[in-house]
Amino acid sequence: ETLCLKERELCKYFEPGDHVKVVTGAHEGATGMVIKTEGHNIIIISDTTKED
């Protein structure tokens, strides 16, 4: 079955342990591992600084 959806009706789903890269905003280019999800926000631990 094919679904037709608008972009604003979709969101990306992340789980703890996923490796991510920030593609826009103040932390653009940062990479790290997801340690916690809170609604539509995630907390990552940085690959370079090891800070969340």
Contact 35, 50 (CB under 8 A): no
Chain centroid, CA 50 distance in Å: 17
pLDDT, position 51:
67
**pLDDT given for residue 16 in this prediction:** 96
* CATH numbers and ranges of domains, the chain: 12-46 (2.30.30.30)
Q: Whole-angstrom Cα distance, residue 34 to residue 47? A: 11
Tens digit of each residue's pLDDT (9 = 90 or more) over 1-52: 999 999 999 888 999 999 999 999 999 999 999 999 998 899 999 998 776 6
Looking at residue 48, its pLDDT comes to: 85
| Residue-level pLDDT at 49 | 79
Residue type, 51: E
